[in-house]
């Protein structure tokens, strides 16, 4: 009888230890699942915040373009006002280092999807890149803006063609990205005709 009692006495702590081990293992599994769920929800929240920030930035840049169009209309659609609109870009509105993440990939890159197949660098989006369709009954496109700028610079007495080409290169930067391969011909600056003298 003593032997039986001793076995029962030693089995009880083992049963308690096994039970505690099982409870601990279950608790660790539950904690792991809970952490995974929190991490997933944090990522979703971060993605939503990033998308909202990108949308707000795009709205700010678009609003600037619309404001410049209103100013041009109020100035009788003068060449100077339209030229100012054509030279307006996202980097004049956004802070240094910011860019319009139009494809929501958290990278500044060359984007062809947001402008009907015409490519632009996300750090340098101009009003004529599709942020505004028309102003003063004129389409605001890269080609039309080139014509507006050409006429404005001629009216300012800038000779043709070299000073205008210099002005174009000085005032219409392409941005920090460099498209290559099949993307390069889609860049807005490669789709514009060369300046002409008339």
Residue 126: which of 187, 183, 85 has the closest Cα?
85
H or E element, residue 13: helix 2-74
Residues in the chain where the model's pLDDT stays below 70: 1-11, 197-198
In this prediction, residue 72 carries a pLDDT of: 97
Cβ count near 91 (within 10 Å):
20
In this prediction, residue 57 carries a pLDDT of: 92
In this prediction, residue 9 carries a pLDDT of: 58
pLDDT tens-place string over residues 179-188: 888 888 999 9
Cβ count near 132 (within 10 Å):
19
Place of tokens 């990108």: 54
Cβ count near 121 (within 10 Å):
23
In SS3 terms, 33-71 reads as HHHHHHHHHHHHHHHHHHHHHHHHHHHHHHHHHHHHHHH
pLDDT tens-place string over residues 139-148: 999 999 999 9
pTM: predicted TM-score of the whole model, two decimal places: 0.75
Rounded to the nearest 10 degrees, how much is the dihedral formed by the CA atoms of 31, 36, 42, 47?
Answer: 180
In this prediction, residue 20 carries a pLDDT of: 79
User: What is the residue extent of each domain of the chain?
Assistant: 2-191
Alpha helices in 75-160 (DSSP H): 79-87, 142-155
pLDDT tens-place string over residues 92-129: 999 988 999 888 888 899 998 887 788 999 999 999 99
In this prediction, residue 12 carries a pLDDT of: 74
């Amino acid at each position: 009888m003593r032997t039986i009692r001793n076995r029962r006495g030693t089995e009880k702590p083992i049963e308690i230890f096994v039970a505690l081990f099982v409870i601990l293992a279950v608790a660790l599994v539950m904690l792991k699942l809970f952490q995974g769920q929190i991490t997933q929800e944090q990522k979703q929240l971060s993605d939503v915040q990033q998308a909202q920030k990108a949308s707000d930035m795009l709205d700010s840049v678009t609003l600037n373009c619309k404001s410049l169009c209103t100013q041009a209309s109020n100035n009788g659609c003068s060449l100077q006002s339209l030229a100012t609109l054509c030279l307006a870009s996202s980097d004049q509105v956004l802070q240094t280092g910011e860019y319009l993440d139009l494809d929501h990939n958290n990278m500044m890159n060359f984007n062809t999807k947001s402008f009907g197949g015409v490519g632009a660098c996300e750090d340098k989006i101009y009003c004529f890149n599709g942020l505004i369709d028309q102003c003063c009954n004129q389409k605001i496109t890269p080609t039309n803006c080139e014509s507006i700028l050409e006429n404005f610079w001629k009216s300012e007495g800038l000779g043709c063609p070299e000073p205008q080409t210099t002005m174009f290169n000085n005032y219409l930067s392409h941005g920090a990205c460099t498209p290559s391969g099949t993307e390069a011909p889609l860049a807005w600056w490669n789709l514009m005709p060369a300046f002409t003298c008339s």
